[in-house]
Chains A and B, each alone.
Chain A
Amino acid sequence: MPRIFDGLKVLDFGWIGVGPITARYFADHGATAIRIESSTRFDGLRMAPPYKDAKPGLNNSQFFATFNASKMSLGLNMAHSEARAIAKRLCLEWADVITEGFTPKQMRAWGLHYDDLAPTRPDLIMVSTCQLGQTGPYSMYAGYGNMAASLAGYYEITGWEDRGPCMVYGAYTDMLTPAVGASLITAALDYRQRTGKGQWIDLAQFEVGVNHLPVTVLDYTVNGRIASRCGNREARACPHNAYPCQGENRWLAIAIFADEEWRALVALMGNPAWTQAERFATLAGRQVHEAEIDRHLTEWTASQDAFVLEAQLQQAGVAAGVVAKQSDLFADPQLKERGFFAWCDHKVMGRTPYDGLMSHFSKTPGHVAPAPLLGEHYEAILGDILQYSEEQIADLIGQGVVEMHLE
């Protein structure tokens, strides 16, 4: 079966989220992707949870594995000039695409900045991604996506209006930026085919975050309105909330936009007397009395099974969704039908689930392969690709230039 990016070569200096996930997109669709990494300054995700059997280890993190599926790994201790020379050879002699996610000065320090590479390889496509961008007075700001998400306004608009802001789980902009990076790379590959020109892509995670909030920005720049958190409320819908159901921490989200959806909900409830009041007949009326509706709905849902009620509501044409726990996702019949979780056999972790493909392609299905051990592919990369001899490779390992952590 042909794959979209058969033959494409991606060199991934990324760490944590954005660079690695961006590179993984291509690896899942046939590109050869090589991670450059080191145990001396290892990617923090390699020691971050969840871990297989809850035991930390450089090759035991599902967090790392999921973001780095389908890739190869070369362990290079970049403190050695010889390691930097090997990395540079891969950049100049091998890669079509390079991803990196350091603060702006790191690649320069290694002599691997776009400016160092482009004179020899003007056709290179390189993504440099950091929190606030490669240029500007605060380009050296260092952080994770949880900082960029805060800067881009996400925490301000999450939570309850009578309380302070809430965290958005994880490093939110890390989850938004890779699809943008991959889109730009793919478009740049196409542009390169037509023009021969490469591309340096300065991808600021803060800006990508703001670009996912365009309505919020326009409501401010046009109307001067400063959005804040509002629980689950939605201007166009009511009721619109998560309601408690039978069981511990079990919730069902219900969203009523159209009046006919409201009537369908009321019918499913058996037309209780309270619903017949005139004030609930229109959206505007329901919104005025939202707290009252939420109280009644809570009484109705509290003793019911969330999954059964969800199906009944959907059957009645009402948008409802169980607030899925992570454990529910593995039992979700729809995600199962799509084969969303890719169970891969990892050399150390064994068979574990990787978050899989978001999009299905009718002619070129992607494929998720296990993440590499740190330094796992030194022989193939140094021997087959860069043509070092066995003796040279042994020397590089002996000098600590090349690393392997294979257990």
Chain B
Amino acid sequence: MNDKTSKDYLLTPYKVLDLTGETGMMCGKVLGDLGAEVVIVEPPGGHPARAIGPFYKDQVEPEKSLFWFAFNTSKKGITLDLAQPTGQALLRDLVKQSDIVVESFAPGYLEALGIGYAALSALKPDLIFTSITPFGQHGPHRDWKGTDLTMQARSGMQYLLGDPDRAPVRISVPMTTTKAGVEAANASLFALFHRNRTKEGQHVDVSIQASGVWQMMNASSFPIHHKIDQGRAGDRYNAGFGNARAILACADGYVTFLTMGGHMGAPTLYAMGRWMESEGKLPDGMRGKKWEEWDMARLARDAQARQEMDDLNETLATFLATKSKWEIFERACSDKILTAPVNNVKDLVEHPQPNARGFFQKLPHPELNDEITYPGHWALMNNAQAGPRFRAPLIGEHNEEVYGQRLGYSQDEIAAWQRNGII
């Protein structure tokens, strides 16, 4: 499974035209990593996302944005000004040769230029046209602005994150847009599957807000069923499972630990008992305890059970405070304990498990005279592979290939468009 060298990519026959901004670029990356030929369209001079840091060796230049690198692997790149009529004509040429167009403009923007779904599907009825926007194409908020922070807020996730005595927080990277980009890739593939059966294209309308609600696991319906809103609980596990402290300090950092009763939680507590016993540190209160009987429903309504859980949690915390992250991880593996280190990015890049699986992948950046290590495969497969194939494009890198070889325009025409700021 780990051998990827000679395997096919799954989507090699398909062409994708990527018109997205920073909030939609993940979609094309996924399709490109799966093997589709993805061409991202930048305004002449370069895409605004190239101004987003961090930058390669902190050199703030459009060809050195790590944000751009990260979300545009496996894509080719062309420049094109969609606001000019010649640019729109070229776009129509490109669309006729594409299976999927993905875009993330404000709803109505492309229609106003005459290159919205209605116009493009008239040219190519089997086109799949995927739109990624904060709130979707219709509805009272469709024209509202949305950034990752405000979408974490409006999707409900932010209300659940952070310490109770301070403001709610977001995960400190743009997760709503990243997640919605993967959702958009999936939805585009669903539409492609349908098209291949029926020759019927369609408009796929992805809502970052709706995708964001799907971050909250079981939370959304608590007010309907339990007449409560779940709230933020800092380092505690606040999903209706007893509210135990879920982040514990250990000798060299933190671990997450799931103290939970019932049949989901009992094996962990028995295993912790064995570990503590082996070091002569098992307190009498944990001896002979039937952890299965600590069911979640009881923990939810019984204050005494919750107090017992808090006390137990403190006992476990005292024991784990003497162990390292790595010791705890190894014990978790060997004895099936529901715990894991709170890794930082260094920990996870150096972790032996993804490295044994060949997860991290070096891509050459010849113009930097360097190779960069990327997060790699989306999965391992027996008959195929899926992961970054090559680095993100330079500005206009594939203008010649796409306009010349693919669309058949002459060198002179291409040069003229370049002079006139069309490409």
5 tightest Cβ-Cβ pairs between the two chains A and B: A170-B217, A321-B150, A337-B139, A214-B70, A359-B187
Q: Shortest CB–CB separation between residue B192 and chain A, in angstroms?
A: 7
If A207-B354, A218-B372, A335-B209 touch, whether A364 touches B342 (CB-CB below 8 Å) is no
Tell me whether A377 is interfacial, beta carbon within 8 Å: no
Residues A170 and B218 in contact, CB atoms below 8 Å apart: yes
Tell me whether A153 is interfacial, beta carbon within 8 Å: yes
If A255-B149, A322-B153 touch, whether A151 touches B348 (CB-CB below 8 Å) is yes
Tell me whether B383 is interfacial, beta carbon within 8 Å: yes
Find the A residue at minimum CB distance from B346.
A226
- Assuming A62-B218, A62-B224, A325-B229, what are 5 further A-B pairs, CB within 8 angstroms? A150-B342, A166-B163, A187-B386, A333-B141, A356-B210
Tell me whether A36 is interfacial, beta carbon within 8 Å: no
Find the A residue at minimum CB distance from B212.
A358
Residues B351 and A151 in contact, CB atoms below 8 Å apart: yes
Q: Shortest CB–CB separation between residue B251 and chain A, in angstroms?
A: 15
CA distance A258 to B222 in the complex (A): 38
Tell me whether A183 is interfacial, beta carbon within 8 Å: yes
CA distance A164 to B157 in the complex (A): 20
Residues A147 and B256 in contact, CB atoms below 8 Å apart: yes
Which of these, B34, B141, B169, B264, contacts A166 with CB under 8 Å?
A: B169
Contacts of A210 in B (CB 8 A): 348, 354, 359, 375
In the complex, which residues 144-185 of chain B have their Cβ closer than 8 Å to any Cβ of chain A? 144-163, 166-173, 175, 178-180, 182-185
Stretch at the interface among B107-115, B241-249, B313-321, B410-418: B241-249
Contact with B along A274-297 (1 / 0, CB 8 A): 000000000000000000000000
Which of these, B172, B351, B380, contacts A134 with CB under 8 Å?
A: B380
Tell me whether B304 is interfacial, beta carbon within 8 Å: no
Contacts of B201 in A (CB 8 A): 363
Residues B202 and A155 in contact, CB atoms below 8 Å apart: no
Q: Shortest CB–CB separation between residue A67 and chain B, in angstroms?
A: 9
Find the B residue at minimum CB distance from A317.
B145
Contact with A along B199-212 (1 / 0, CB 8 A): 01111111101110
Q: Interface residues of A: mostly helix, strand, loop or mixed?
A: mixed
Contacts of B399 in A (CB 8 A): none
Which of these, B70, B158, B333, contacts A138 with CB under 8 Å?
A: B333
If A47-B296, A150-B343, A166-B234 touch, whether A358 touches B225 (CB-CB below 8 Å) is no
Residues B153 and A321 in contact, CB atoms below 8 Å apart: yes
Residues B155 and A179 in contact, CB atoms below 8 Å apart: no
In the complex, which residues 55-73 of chain B have their Cβ closer than 8 Å to any Cβ of chain A? 56-58, 66-67, 69-71
A to B CB contacts below 8 Å, 17 in the list: A49-B241, A135-B356, A138-B352, A140-B333, A148-B340, A155-B256, A184-B379, A186-B190, A202-B380, A207-B377, A240-B149, A241-B167, A324-B156, A326-B216, A353-B224, A358-B206, A361-B194
Q: Shortest CB–CB separation between residue A314 and chain B, in angstroms?
A: 5
In the complex, which residues 315-339 of chain A have their Cβ closer than 8 Å to any Cβ of chain B? 317-330, 332-335, 337-338
Residues B342 and A155 in contact, CB atoms below 8 Å apart: yes
CA distance A202 to B227 in the complex (A): 40
Contact with A along B334-360 (1 / 0, CB 8 A): 001011111111111101111011011
Which of these, B54, B256, B383, contacts A150 with CB under 8 Å?
A: B256
Residues A190 and B11 in contact, CB atoms below 8 Å apart: yes
Q: Shortest CB–CB separation between residue B362 and chain A, in angstroms?
A: 9
Contacts of A324 in B (CB 8 A): 153-156, 159
If A158-B161, A333-B139, A333-B140 touch, whether A222 touches B359 (CB-CB below 8 Å) is no
Contacts of B237 in A (CB 8 A): 146, 167
Residues B162 and A151 in contact, CB atoms below 8 Å apart: no
Count contacts on A: residues with CB < 8 A to the other chain. 160
Residues A169 and B157 in contact, CB atoms below 8 Å apart: yes
Tell me whether B390 is interfacial, beta carbon within 8 Å: no
Stretch at the interface among A51-59, A69-77, A79-87, A398-406: A51-59
CA distance A222 to B135 in the complex (A): 35
Find the A residue at minimum CB distance from B30.
A183
Q: Shortest CB–CB separation between residue B142 and chain A, in angstroms?
A: 8
Q: Shortest CB–CB separation between residue A96 and chain B, in angstroms?
A: 12
Q: Shortest CB–CB separation between residue B377 and chain A, in angstroms?
A: 7
If A158-B169, A182-B186, A220-B345 touch, whether A51 touches B225 (CB-CB below 8 Å) is yes
Q: Shortest CB–CB separation between residue B390 and chain A, in angstroms?
A: 15
Find the A residue at minimum CB distance from B387.
A211
Residues B222 and A164 in contact, CB atoms below 8 Å apart: no
Stretch at the interface among A231-239, A367-375, A381-389: A231-239
Contacts of A220 in B (CB 8 A): 345-346, 349
Tell me whether B236 is interfacial, beta carbon within 8 Å: yes
Residues A217 and B345 in contact, CB atoms below 8 Å apart: yes
Find the A residue at minimum CB distance from B365.
A222
Find the A residue at minimum CB distance from B29.
A214
Residues A167 and B247 in contact, CB atoms below 8 Å apart: yes
Residues A136 and B356 in contact, CB atoms below 8 Å apart: yes
Tell me whether A304 is interfacial, beta carbon within 8 Å: no
Which of these, B146, B162, B173, B238, contacts A157 with CB under 8 Å?
A: B173
Find the B residue at minimum CB distance from A211.
B375
Contacts of B352 in A (CB 8 A): 136-138
Find the A residue at minimum CB distance from B175.
A212
Residues A166 and B353 in contact, CB atoms below 8 Å apart: no
Most chain-B Cβ atoms within 10 A of its Cβ — which of A154, A163, A252, A329?
A329
Residues A231 and B169 in contact, CB atoms below 8 Å apart: yes
CA distance A340 to B330 in the complex (A): 42
In the complex, which residues 238-291 of chain B have their Cβ closer than 8 Å to any Cβ of chain A? 238-241, 246-247, 249, 254-256, 258, 262-264
Residues A212 and B11 in contact, CB atoms below 8 Å apart: no
If A183-B189, A206-B353 touch, whether A166 touches B247 (CB-CB below 8 Å) is yes
Tell me whether B378 is interfacial, beta carbon within 8 Å: yes
Tell me whether A156 is interfacial, beta carbon within 8 Å: yes
